[in-house]
Structure 1
Amino acid sequence: MNKVLKKYLPKKILPRLLLIFLLPLIFTQCLLVFFFYDRHWEKIITRFSNIAINQINLIKNEYKINGLERAKEVANKLNIELLIVEEKELIKEKNTFLKKKIETNIQNRVGKDTFLIFGENIINVFNKDKENYMLIKFPKKYLLSETPIILFLWIISISLILSLIAFLFLRIQIRAIQRLAKSAEEFGEGKNVKKFKPEGAMEIRQAGATFMKMRSRINNYISQRTNFLTGISHDLGTVLTRIKLGLELISNQNETTQIKNDIKTMEMFLKEYLDYSEKIKKKKFSKINILQLLNEVITSSKSLEKKTSIFCNSKINFNTNKNYLYRVIFNLVENASKFGKCINIKVKKKLKLLTIEIEDDGPGIPDYDKNNIFKPFYKIDSSRNINKGGSGLGLSIANELIKKLHGEIKLRDSKTKGSIFSIILTET
């Protein structure tokens, strides 16, 4: 039952709130209209039946006593028409609730050989008189009343006014929720949220104030972490510089080769720490050629150039930040080169959607590591060897940068048992 309700319920909160407001209102009005019309038509039917019965009996008596002409004169004075028709001319119609109800009332007091046929503006009442039928035509206005129409218009008008007021009020409340959600989303993307101010109902204001406190605590944490990483990186950089100077003074170069290699590895780590601790600022977007950008990434390293193949249309251009996208692609390609002998880069663009797939033929990534691969300092088992390089920040930096470009990175297994990192961007 719950699954069925969830399937048909609106997904957004405004339609749901309107549904909560409108359903009881519509249900109540339907009941009101039903009971009113039931009572109203009961009165209308009774009134018309009494009028018709009295006038039919009067005309029948006049017809029996004084003849047809005198009966017609009486009928004219009552603003009704009297005719005598043969039985073979009659065509009966199907019964309706209204017709059956009036017929029954008239038959109970006039005779069973009485039936009705509704015309466009008249009600034809047929009453058998010997071999023929007496046709008495009543104006249909006897069944008409302005009261239901006026009531119906009042109900519709009041409902529309109340619904409009409810819609405007709910929209104001929803707008406050939407602003809170938008601010939370922007903050989650790393944007600086300055203009947010709690508004709306007390509960929404409370949620907004809680969000602001949480934002402040997170910003303080990020600031402390950034300062910590920056301080350590600079301090270690100073120590490494001194070690390098000391090594230059040693005459035996064979003994210092391994130490210099270790120093280069540490410098690479420090560079990644500094890159990660830097505040990523929003930069301007511009139209760039994707193939040209990929060639720049690949030619930046001889090892990448040898093992990388690019499949991209030279006419694909995209509006984005070149430096950020360059860094994202470089980090992913460099990561693929550590574990694979062959790298394929495929580019597809459909309308405003750009997809860049970076595929390697390495050992792949276990399923239990896929959810953590973009976390800072996280390393899967196959990459823990120091000879492979990497501080565990390359993919994390790429993931942060791609969010700034309004995109995402998806990971899946390739047919060659390696991995495919897909960069998905929407042009703005």
Structure 2
Amino acid sequence: MPGPVMGRLRRLLPRSLMARSVLIILAPMLVLQAVALQLFYGGHLDVISRRLAGGVAGDVAFVAELIRREPAEQHPWIFREASWRLDLALAFEPGARIQGERRPSMSILPLEEDLNNALGERVRARFDTDWQSDPRSVIIRVQMPDGVLHVEAPRKRLFTATLYLFVIWLVGSALLLSGVAILFMKNQVRAIRRLAAAAEAFGLGRDLGPIKPEGASEVRQAAGAFNRMRERIRRFVGQRTEMLAGISHDLRTPLTRMRLGVTMLPRSPETEEDLAALTQDMEEMERMIAAYLSFARGEGTEQARPADLVELVQDVAAKARRSGAAVEVAAPGKLALPLRPDAVRRCLGNLIDNARRHAQHVSVAVETVPRTELGGPGGEGQSLWAQVTVDDDGPGIPAADREGAFKPFASGRPDGTGLGLAIARDIVRAHGGDIQLEESPLGGLRARLLLPV
């Protein structure tokens, strides 16, 4: 099936851009060299090997025929002439017989097969070749009527320097082109990695400044577009912050005058209850305005810096205790992370305040957990999460309504503004993490906060 085959091929391909680019560059070159090598083996080397083997086999057959025809007193002269003129070392073993089968030892090259074929055509007797006993010679044994003729032929007569030069050229060119391709693609991929790192850092609130365009023209174009986008976002956030600061002032000023006016009104038993209710309404309005502005403003202007998550949790828990809440904290001594402290403090405060308003007991735990246990968002290769769990023994939120509780102005509680969880999730996701709502072991609601370490 095409689908499963393509799926297996995709799994075999490297995942990184650099490895894929190098593979695209080197694969055609390797295929071309493989074709050239095949043509060399099937053409030039094959012809040369047969000719060299035929020459050695012809000399051996000629010497064997001379020994067979000439009387024994002429054999020393034949041995001497063969050593001098043919570069063959001869020895004769009277009464010996060739036993066993030939054992192939150089199957990679066609030399042994070509030599055996040539000897079979020219030597009209049983023979044997030994490629293993001597690394510099090939020992050929020929069965004679009264013994065995041993012939040592130098291997250089069967080899050609073209083979070594061709192999060196193939391997050297492959290594040279591989090195050039890797260096070239490394420089190109470095620019893409810097762009990805800058985008990731900017998305997590760590503004590292504009990046320097480098690399190919397309990568430079992408870097320039990122720098322009970064400036537009910063300008938009700054304008929105200034606008919201003015709105905050415009809304709080009338409330302050109303509070001052209520305070100066004459008190009487008949109006005391109405004035208390009016004061409570104004306080509720101030709280709602602060929550709305906090949600709209976010924490975009604060820069991330190393901060102790445990210290932030302890500070927020201590503030809640001063308000009369029963909050327990279980945490290690220290856990330093790149955070926007004010934003995280606001997030933790929303979670703990949400829990203590609807429960008698609140428990907070801080720990690090492996990413494989919980999954969740984060960059590839992220191995650890900093986990903060906020448990309470209140009524909780039904499982079907938990995700909806994160929507702005959709409160899962009867007396909430519907922004606490929305603000908390917005802050945590800006740090590259997330918040999950679950059933608490205490019987109420558990808010699980995850931050990348």
Task: Say yes or no: TM over 0.5.
Answer: yes
Query: What corresponds to 1:293 in structure 2?
Result: 315
1:70 pairs with 2:77: yes
Tell me whether 1:80 sits opposite 2:88 in the alignment: yes
Superposed CA offset, 1:27-75 (max 9, x none): 2222222322343442343233222233223323322124333332332
User: Residue 46 and residue 214 in structure 1: after superposition, are their counterparts in 2 closer, same or farther (change >3 A)?
Assistant: same
Please state how far the C-alpha of 1:263 moved relative to its aligned partner. 1.0
In 2 relative to 1, CA 341–32 (structure 1 residues): closer, same or farther, beyond 3 Å?
farther
- Specify the SS of the correspondent of 1:382: coil
State the match for 2:350 in structure 1: 331
Q: Give the whole-Å Cα distance in 2 for the aligned partners of 1:126 and 1:95.
A: 15
- Cα deviation, residue 12, structure 1: 1.7
Residue equivalent to 2:102: 93
Correspondent of 2:438 among 409, 413, 417: 413
Q: Structure 2: how far apart are the matches of 1:285 and 1:32? A: 59
- Indicate how the Cα distance of structure 1 residues 347 and 194 shifts in structure 2: closer, same or farther if over 3 A, else same: closer
CA offsets 1:149-179 (integer angstroms, 9 cap, x no match): 2232233333222222222222222222222
2:8 maps to which residue?
Answer: 4
Give ranges in structure 1 of 5+ residues lacking alignment.
Answer: none
CA shift at 1:267, angstroms? 0.7
Question: 2:40 corresponds to which residue?
Answer: 36
Q: How does 1:274-289 map to 2 (within 5 A)?
A: 274-276=293-295, 277=297, 280-282=301-303, 285=306
1:333 Cα shift?
0.9
For 1:135, which of 146, 150, 155 is the aligned residue? 150
Give yes or no for contact 1:312–1:347 (8 Å, CA) kept in 2.
yes
Q: Tell me which amino acid in the other structure corresponds to 2:302.
A: K
**Alpha-carbon separation, structure 2, partners of 1:54 and 1:288:** 89
Q: 1:229·1:273 contact (CA, 8 Å) conserved in 2?
A: no
Number of residues of Structure 1 aligned to a counterpart in Structure 2: 414
Map 1:246-395 → 2, pairs under 5 A? 246-248=261-263, 249-251=265-267, 252-276=271-295, 277=297, 280-282=301-303, 285=306, 290=311, 292-293=314-315, 295-302=317-324, 304-305=325-326, 308-312=327-331, 316-319=333-336, 323-349=342-368, 354-361=386-393, 362-364=395-397, 366=399, 370=403, 373=406, 378-380=408-410, 382-383=412-413, 385=414, 388-390=415-417, 392=419, 394-395=420-421
Contact 1:123 1:137 in 2 (8 A): yes
Q: Evaluate the alpha carbon distance shift between residue 230 and residue 324 of structure 1 in structure 2; reply closer, same or farther with a 3 A threshold.
A: closer
Counterpart position of 2:380: none
Q: CA RMSD in A?
A: 3.2
Identity %: 24
Q: Which amino acid aligns with 2:397?
A: G
Change in Cα spacing, 1:401 to 1:233, as seen in structure 2 (3 Å) is same
Inter-CA distance 30–246: structure 2 relative to 1 (3 Å threshold): same
Work out whether residues 413 and 420 of structure 1, in 8 Å CA contact, stay in contact via their aligned partners in 2. yes
Native 8 Å contact 2:310 2:366 kept in 1: no
Q: CA deviation at 1:107?
A: 1.0
Aligned amino acid, residue 255 of structure 2: L
**SS of aligned partner of 1:317:** coil
TM-score, normalised by the number of residues in structure 2: 0.79
Distance change >3 Å, CA 353–CA 215, structure 1 → 2: closer
Q: Which residue of 2 aligns with 1:148?
A: 163
| 1:239-276 deviations in Å (ceiling 9; x for gaps) | 11122223221531111222221111111122234445
**Counterparts in 2 of 1:166-315, with a 5 A limit?**
166-248=181-263, 249-251=265-267, 252-276=271-295, 277=297, 280-282=301-303, 285=306, 290=311, 292-293=314-315, 295-302=317-324, 304-305=325-326, 308-312=327-331
Mapped partners of 1:286, 1:382: distance in 2:
32
Q: Which runs of 5+ in 2 are unaligned?
A: 371-383
Counterpart Cα distance in 2 of 1:100 and 1:283:
73
Offset at residue 21 of structure 1 (A)? 1.2
CA contact (8 A) 1:60 1:71 kept: no
TM-score under structure 1 length normalisation: 0.83
In structure 2, the residue matched to 1:124 is: 139
Which amino acid in 1 is paired with 2:321?
A: T
Letter in 1 for 2:127: T
Q: After superposition, give the CA deviation of every residue in 1:64-114 in whole Å (9 maximum; x if it has no partner).
A: 124333332332222212223344464543235442332122212222523
Counterpart of 1:55 in structure 2 is: 59
In structure 1, how many angstroms separate the alpha carbons of the residues matched to 2:344 and 2:41? Answer: 70
Partner SS for 1:153 = helix
Measure the CA separation in 1 of the matches of 2:286 and 2:161. Answer: 92
Change (3 A) 1:57 1:155: closer
